[in-house]
């Protein structure tokens, strides 16, 4: 759960969602409900709105039962659910690209990062692209959002050079129903996870989770600060 004392930007824990086989309709529904953008808005609902929405829309409780649980009357519970649903619907990005098109653009983006190819990076990014990073004060990370194609393309071109120097590599995966990647050090330990929001033929948002506390469930986690110190030695 988000806390006011959290250091830097807060993002949900990344979840691998490419391990099973589902029909296209199920895949689309999962991508919509597990995307980091959706989870972030869910987190921003007030506690009662969030409880009502989850109890009724996710767990299937009747409004009378929900009202008893949250200590409100049934009419008020319906209003809270409607309000929460409206906030969440407004936040959902309707991805116009097919999953294959999203995957292909993600491949182009991460290849451009790895190669430090500025022109290709610019070509894959939306003009108003935004980068968010979550280090939780436990790993080096961007403390504030970085916006705009010029800043973001330069940032990731430089990051690609640093990744090459550190000997880390990118493994493309589906994260929270969206195209993304796990970054691994030479010992195959996780340094961070990237998740992309893709729409209108471009990368709109890039989210990076490097806080080790949010990565252990995915596998062995690298000590990024130690890795960077070794690079400087």
Residue 124 pLDDT > 90, yes or no?
yes
Structure tokens at 135: 């280090």
Distance between CA atoms of residues 211 and 209, nearest Å: 6
Which of the residue ranges 85-89, 115-119, 125-129 would you say has the lowest mean pLDDT? 85-89
Which is nearest to 28 in space by CA: 74, 97, 84?
A: 97
Start-to-end Cα distance in the chain? 38
DSSP 8-class letter at 14: P
Residue 48 in contact with residue 72, Cβ under 8 Å? yes
Rounded to whole angstroms, what are the CA distances from 92 to 48, 125, 208?
Answer: 21, 20, 20
Rounded distance, CA 224 to CA 64, Å?
50
Quick one: DSSP state of residue 177?
T
What residues contact 131, with CB distance under 8 A and at least 6 apart?
142, 145, 146, 147, 152, 155, 205, 206, 207, 208
Q: Give the pLDDT score at 28.
A: 52
Q: Render pLDDT for 3-36 as a digit per residue (tens, 0 to 9).
A: 567 888 889 899 998 865 554 444 555 555 667 7
Q: In the chain, what percentage of residues exceed pLDDT 70?
A: 87
- Per-residue pLDDT, averaged over 29-46, amounts to 70
DSSP label at 4?
T
175, 103 Cβ separation under 8 angstroms? no
pTM above 0.85, yes or no: no
In this structure, are residues 171 and 114 in contact, taking their beta carbons and an 8 Å threshold? no
Q: Which long-range contacts (CB under 8 A, 24 or more apart) does 67-76 make?
A: 72/48
d(CA 138, CA 159): 19
All structural domains of the chain, each given as residue ranges with its CATH number in brackets, are 36-91 (1.10.10.10), 99-232 (3.10.450.50)
Cα separation of 132 and 147, whole Å?
A: 9
Q: What is the reported pLDDT for 179? A: 94
Pair 194, 188: CB distance under 8 Å = no
């Amino acid at each position: 759960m988000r806390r006011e004392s959290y250091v830097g930007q807060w993002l949900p824990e990344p979840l691998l969602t490419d391990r099973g086989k589902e029909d296209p309709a199920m895949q689309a529904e999962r991508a919509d409900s597990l995307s980091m953008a959706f989870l972030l808005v869910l987190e921003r609902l007030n506690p009662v709105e969030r409880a009502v929405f989850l109890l009724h829309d996710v767990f299937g409780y009747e409004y009378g039962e929900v009202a008893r649980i949250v200590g409100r009357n049934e009419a008020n519970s319906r209003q809270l659910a409607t309000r929460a649903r409206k906030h969440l619907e407004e936040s959902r990005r309707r991805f116009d690209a097919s999953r294959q098109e999203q995957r292909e653009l993600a491949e182009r983006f991460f290849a451009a990062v790895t190669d430090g190819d500025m022109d290709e990076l610019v070509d894959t990014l939306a003009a108003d692209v935004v980068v968010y990073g979550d280090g939780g004060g436990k790993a080096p990370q961007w403390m504030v959002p970085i916006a705009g194609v010029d800043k973001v393309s330069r940032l990731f071109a430089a990051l690609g050079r640093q990744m090459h120097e550190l000997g880390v590599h990118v493994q493309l995966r589906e994260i929270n129903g969206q195209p993304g990647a796990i970054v691994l050090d030479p010992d195959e330990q996780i340094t961070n996870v990237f998740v992309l929001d893709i729409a209108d033929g471009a990368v709109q948002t890039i989210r990076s989770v490097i806080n080790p506390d949010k990565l252990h469930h995915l596998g062995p986690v690298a000590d990024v600060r130690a890795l960077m110190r070794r690079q400087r030695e």
